[in-house]
Chains A and B, each alone.
Chain A
């Protein structure tokens, strides 16, 4: 039995998981869906491209560089636009439109960057694949192991950070109630800055791993945003653990359901691949808008027996 499609699906799912975690982290602290999140991944794609095709360095060495560049872009975006707009008192809708504008702007910058190679170095840069730079263990491509290990490490570090460190606890507090957290002495600005730093870095890291298996272009990043949103929404949009699960499920099902559809109905089904995350997105909103997080909370509520409330003694209260 050929397991290649499974390896491919798991690689994609691991990358999507990293992206979904970032999307959820932004939503937690800033309360806006960041539509530019997919485009950060585009920067990662071009870090890998530049290293591999221009400097002829193994693109695996560029993963830390991708993290730094992504977090840099994200911090610039936050400082220049999001922070300014928040200080002006703009609502969440205006901020979301601002992220859309940033997505268009950054997407154009990526396209222009790819045209630098075409115009000045006569090197094709708008659709590429970096499979030949990859190593192999047995029959399996190295990116399968690398993406899986990196995503597991990220999840463990994130779990440690959110539960044990001061910054993580501050982030959770900010997510619960921003004003209350600031009353307790948490610097909201630094928490926000840190979360944008982390999301940008993670997105760019995931993006840097995409061209090892999947054909990439400047628009790959902005095209993947539907899957990211579906993964994050399936996880409940305000739970990092939900996003881990949701991103993985969406990534797996996007490839495996397409394959199943192609086997069952014929090859035409492949064209409808982008509809699968949309289907999940709409199904989640119709069935349980809070996603897996909502299901989990309902399940726990049903398991735990309701504690009967004792009637308050009014006389004592009066005294």
Chain B
């Protein structure tokens, strides 16, 4: 993790921009994006035992927020500022006048950095809210039922969101997609680098948020939910409510990845947000690294992202050895690795450690003699006494 962040920051330095290593920036960017998704997944599945198979939905909601809501606000602000924008209110004109409008807005952002960053923050804020709302809506049908029902619902909804995006032109330009103004247009150097650094920073912030939450009493509540929900319900906790809150919170964080992807590619098209890419690969990262700890998630994300980007970038060199498209090779690696890791390393590369709670000394607790109310178990007392006498 630290090496990746260091690489991202190093490559953002002016010296590094000259001899730019595209591959490093690319890997850092996608590491930043997917580590957010994988961490949120670890928060849900690894710690609370909620199998969220709908990461793609939350990511697509982030992207649609940028293309459907923030893009219009950008146009409105730019038009109010006196830029000669074409009409964009009609779904047809929304796509038709999009490239020229975006070019004008890019010019505005190049001169006004504060406005551009304001729009970045605005889109992040709206995306988090929309993601949480999606989490709430997704939780409605199946959160009370067995975990497998939730998986079924979430997997199918990922396709539904793509269908809506494809057919409702106002959301993301239908099949054609829409261009997004570049909020980093004010940056003089390489724009990919600054996007990667911002994404990694967002990943770092969400890492600290998740870590704080996991080390808090709420984190212990989540782990107890994972281990035994019946016990948790019997001590008076609202299991359904806790589960819904976790799903909503993690959905909000996952939507950030969609926003940053939209700003990195500067283009939103529903076909970029397939279930396979945004749900299955993060799951592989989680299972490979080890569910239940963030270090494992980072390791898994680093390995998987590096592997995938290398395959994609050296696609044409690899293609010579195969008669089929390399993307199916990726599928085979994904499916095969997932099964192999589950069979041969069920706890992942870095297994989960005991929870550290500040102020509690586990070693001392183990050494202490546990006081038991023997009245409740008279038989046990007899054997206990016998054993003591034998020892004497």
A positions within 8 Å CB-CB of B = 32-33, 35, 81, 84-85, 88, 90, 92-94, 96-98, 100-109, 111-112, 115-116, 119-120, 226, 229, 233, 268, 271-272, 274-275, 277-278, 281-282, 285-286, 289
Contact = CB atoms under 8 A, between A and B. Distances in A.
A141 to B, nearest CB: 29
Closest 4 pairs between A and B when the two form their complex, measured CB to CB: A105-B335, A108-B331, A101-B338, A104-B335
Given A90-B346, A96-B151, A111 B339 contact: no
A115 B160 contact: no
Interface in B108-145: 140-142, 145
Interface residues of B, number: 41
Nearest to B276: A104
A285 B49 contact: no
Interface string B286-326: 01000000000000000000000000000000000001110
B46 to A, nearest CB: 11
Nearest to B342: A98
B339 A81 contact: yes
Nearest to A106: B335
Interface string B142-162: 100101110111011101100
26 contacts: A33-B152, A93-B51, A93-B148, A97-B51, A97-B283, A97-B287, A98-B342, A101-B335, A101-B338, A104-B276, A104-B331, A105-B331, A105-B335, A108-B329, A115-B323, A115-B324, A115-B325, A116-B323, A120-B323, A233-B149, A271-B163, A274-B159, A277-B156, A278-B156, A282-B141, A285-B145
A106 B287 CA distance: 20
Contacts of B147: 92-93
A239 B303 CA distance: 43
Contacts of B334: 101, 104-105
Given A93-B51, A226-B156, A119 B335 contact: no
Nearest to B346: A88
Given A35-B155, A100-B280, A111 B328 contact: yes
Contacts of B189: none
B343 interface: yes
Contacts of B212: none
Contacts of B152: 33, 229, 233, 281
A282 B145 CA distance: 12
Nearest to A32: B148
Nearest to B339: A101
A277 B276 CA distance: 20
B166 interface: yes
A111 B45 CA distance: 31
A282 B276 CA distance: 22
B332 A119 contact: no
A272 B161 CA distance: 11
Contacts of A85: 342-343
B167 interface: yes
Nearest to B143: A285
A240 to B, nearest CB: 18
B319 to A, nearest CB: 12
B49 A93 contact: yes
A119 B280 CA distance: 29
B335 A229 contact: no
A287 B80 CA distance: 48
